[in-house]
């Protein structure tokens, strides 16, 4: 240990509460600054290691992760992880990936789905059309008791209906993605939604396309015109039936999107930002992502947009996430969505083995492979 006298500074430059320390001796340990310079000598005098070089390495790898580990160094996924992604997160900015997402995607193996032609995509679209709307969505539309309707009853601003620009378009219902939130977080959505953007949970919303032919007690109070088809959870009405009755094809996945949907997608984007500003106080410095998943499971087969604010992601989730802006740009170029799907990663999509997508009848499932998209824990 070495006694080094602190250098004198003018009283005018020292805060009053620190002036009594001007003549105290500093006890410092050995430091590692090797280059001779006034800055290095000053850092040495105060016992500070100059670690700027080491910290600069943080920007050279795609992902950096903080995760809880046990004494043997084994990651504990049940606590989630803090993730920083190069070129997306600001320097030193980490977003939280919740335990449910981390456990789902941080797996040894992945299921591989590979589309090689548009006939396979057409077959999948037909499969989706034969499915009814998701059970939880029909419960909302019928104003039945469930987690979501209770949430909207407690704070009506959390559910917003984005009306269609005309009767040839779908509307969109936006609200919190409640299955991925625990009770405490849901209470925050109800009581202080504007605080969520600065919490570790961030904001996670899900927005569902609503066919204009649907008759809904819940949406009637939100200025949705009443259509000819009333949906009851027990009826299990195929979405194709709604299309046949109304002569307007339902939107079951991104495969349903065409150039004529561009104006409604642009309205969806603008109204979503407006909703984020008004309900959640989201501003220009917040990290906002809007994306569709593809492929999707049969049980969730209706077009839905994920909106995340200040939320961490897992690398395995990214290849099947299609940003709303990218979808709009692709359609504006006059290209078909099927071409987009086939060109991404040469038509291959990697999914957790727990996902039921690989079990869809006729889907081109190519087996299991090692998960090379794991986070570096």
Give the helix ranges, DSSP H, for the chain: 38-45, 52-56, 99-105, 118-129, 135-141, 147-154, 183-191, 217-220, 239-246, 262-280, 324-332, 337-343
**pLDDT reported for residue 90:** 74
Q: What is the pTM of this model?
A: 0.82
3-state secondary structure (DSSP) of residue 353: coil
| Residue 9: per-residue pLDDT | 37
Residue 222 confidence (pLDDT): 78
Can you give the pLDDT at residue 21?
44
Strand-strand pairing, 95-97 and 81-85? antiparallel
Residues of the chain under the 70 pLDDT cut:
1-61, 233
Q: How far is residue 71's CA from residue 350's CA, in Å, rounded to a whole number?
A: 32
Going by C-alpha positions, the residue among 145, 296, 334, 151 that lies closest to residue 209 is 296
Tell me the pairing of strands 214-215 and 203-210. unpaired
Q: So what's the pLDDT on residue 34? A: 55
Q: What are phi and psi of 333, to 5 degrees?
A: -75, -5
Look at the domain 108-370 and name its fold: HIT family, subunit A (3.30.428)
DSSP label at residue 213: T
CB of 362 closer than 8 Å to CB of 122? no
Q: What single DSSP character describes residue 7?
A: P
Strand-pairing partners, residue 205, are 176, 307
- In the chain, beta strands by DSSP E: 2-5, 25-28, 63-67, 81-85, 95-97, 109-114, 160-162, 171-176, 203-210, 214-215, 229-230, 288-293, 304-309, 321-323, 348-352, 365-370
Domain residue limits, the chain: 2-50, 58-102, 108-370
């Amino acid at each position: 240990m070495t006694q080094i006298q602190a250098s004198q500074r003018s009283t005018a430059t020292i805060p009053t509460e620190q002036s009594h320390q001007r003549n105290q001796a500093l006890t410092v340990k050995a430091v590692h600054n090797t280059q001779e310079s006034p800055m290095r000598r000053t850092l040495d005098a105060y016992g500070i290691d100059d670690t700027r070089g080491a910290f600069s390495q943080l920007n050279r790898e795609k992902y950096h992760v903080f995760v809880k580990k046990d004494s043997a160094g084994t990651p504990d996924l049940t606590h989630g992880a803090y993730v920083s992604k190069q070129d997306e997160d600001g320097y030193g900015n980490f977003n939280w990936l919740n335990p449910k997402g981390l456990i789902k995607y941080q797996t040894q193996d992945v299921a591989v789905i590979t589309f090689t032609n548009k006939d396979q995509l057409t077959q999948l679209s037909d499969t989706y059309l034969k499915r009814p709307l998701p059970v939880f969505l029909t419960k909302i539309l019928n104003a039945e008791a469930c987690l979501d309707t209770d949430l909207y009853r407690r704070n009506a601003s959390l559910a917003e209906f984005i009306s269609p620009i005309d009767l040839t378009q779908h509307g969109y219902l936006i609200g919190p993605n409640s299955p991925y939130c625990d009770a405490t977080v849901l209470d925050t959505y109800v009581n202080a939604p504007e605080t969520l953007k600065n919490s570790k949970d961030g904001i996670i919303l899900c927005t569902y396309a609503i066919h204009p032919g649907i008759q809904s007690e819940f949406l009637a109070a939100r200025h949705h015109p009443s259509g000819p088809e009333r949906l009851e959870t027990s009826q299990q009405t195929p979405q194709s039936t709604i299309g046949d009755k109304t002569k307007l094809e339902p939107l079951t996945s991104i495969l349903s999107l065409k150039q004529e949907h561009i104006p409604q997608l642009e309205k969806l984007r603008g109204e979503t930002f407006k909703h984020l500003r008004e309900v959640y106080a989201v501003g220009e410095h917040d990290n906002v992502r809007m994306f569709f998943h593809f492929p999707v499971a049969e049980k969730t087969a209706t077009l839905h947009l994920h909106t995340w604010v200040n939320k961490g992601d897992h690398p395995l989730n990214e290849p099947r996430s299609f940003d709303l802006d990218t979808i709009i740009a692709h359609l504006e170029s006059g290209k078909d969505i099927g071409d987009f799907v086939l060109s991404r990663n040469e038509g291959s999509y990697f999914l957790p083995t727990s996902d039921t997508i690989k079990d869809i009848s006729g889907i081109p499932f190519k087996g299991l492979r090692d998960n090379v998209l794991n986070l570096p824990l």
